[in-house]
Amino acid sequence: MWHDIRLMRALGTGLFGLAGLALVAIGLMWLSQRPMFHLQLIKIEAHEKNSLQHINALTVRSVALPRLSGNFFTLDLEAARAAFESVPWVRRASVRREWPNQLIVTLEEHVALATWGDKGQLISTKGDVFTANLAEAQLDDDHPLPEFTGPAGSEKEVLAKYQQFNDWFAALDLKAESVQLSARYAWRVGLNNGMSVELGREGANSMQERVQRLIAVYPQLMMRLKGQIESVDLRYPNGLALKSASLDAALDKQEAKKKPRLNGQEGKRKP
């Protein structure tokens, strides 16, 4: 074997090649650790030219930056993306390098639509549940946020029903302020006139048919009850039940008229 000149030359060439590659790798490793490749600038951009209303540099610095490690070459972009998505109000983040020592981060921010459940969470216009400062969300509007509740995993279904309720009740110039989906999948909607509507579960007659039943008689109810309707129950096949303070007062007066009156004064007997 050692007398085969060609084999020995090939073996030597291979060893020299491996040595050269090792030197190149060592050189590149040394070069990649130079201070010029330490991350000097992290540029934050908004997704699709949208403005960032709730995400600020202080929050990003305190939440995301401590989770970043490495330089321009060694930074794990997937881990960096997860770090920025852990910042409150961030829905989605994308991260890319920019030569020689910059990081470009594009953030998409949640747009809060309503509160979710009883744990101080919010639900976005896209049906994502997230945790953030409720006071910051309220600053977007003078009116309180609508309140949504429902079983885990029903977030997008509740959001869709909220939009439907607003479309249906627009005929009465009313909007939903709360939407509740129970564990038995029964629906209740609270409207911005203070009225609560029990709709029950989806059944033989659709939810929209039940709402249309209320819309058909609503003007007459408002006239008779002077606009004081506390709740309406539409879970009946062909009718509805309602609760009203003015109706209770009228019934009380009727009951009072039926009581015996002695000597011109109710409740007093002639001595």
Q: Print pLDDT tens along the chain (271 aa).
A: 445 666 666 665 665 566 556 555 554 454 445 455 588 899 999 988 778 989 988 999 999 999 998 888 889 999 999 999 999 999 999 999 998 889 999 999 999 999 999 988 999 999 999 999 888 887 665 678 999 999 999 999 999 999 999 999 999 999 999 999 999 999 999 999 999 999 999 876 789 999 999 999 999 988 888 768 999 999 998 889 999 876 644 434 444 444 444 343 343 333 3
User: Coil, strand or helix: which one is 117?
Assistant: coil
- Going from the C-alpha of 107 to that of each of 65, 90, 196, 222, 254, the distances in angstroms are 15, 7, 39, 49, 65
pLDDT at 239: 87
Q: What are the start and end residues of each CATH 3.10.20.310 domain in the chain?
A: 36-109
Pairing label, strands 112-116, 121-124: antiparallel
Interatomic CA distance for residues 250 and 242, integer angstroms: 14
**36-109: CATH architecture:** Roll (3.10)
pLDDT at 27: 45
Q: Do you know the residue count of the chain?
A: 271
pLDDT at 73: 83
CA angle, residues 119, 125, 126, in degrees to nearest 5: 95
The secondary structure of 189-240, three-state, reads EEECCCCEEEEECCCCCCHHHHHHHHHHHHHHHHHHHCCCCCEEECCCCCCC
Residue 77 C-alpha from the chain's centroid: 26
**Phi, psi at 148, each rounded to 5°:** -115, 140
The end-to-end CA distance of the chain, in Å, is 141
Interatomic CA distance for residues 61 and 41, integer angstroms: 12
pLDDT at 14: 64
Q: What are the start and end residues of each CATH 3.40.50.11690 domain in the chain?
A: 113-254
Fold of 113-254: Rossmann fold (3.40.50)
- What's the longest Cα–Cα distance across the chain? 145
CB environment 77-108: b (16+ within 10 A), e (fewer): eeebbebbbebbbbeebbbebeeeeebebbbb
pLDDT at 69: 87
Which two tokens mark 203? 């059944």
pLDDT at 40: 86
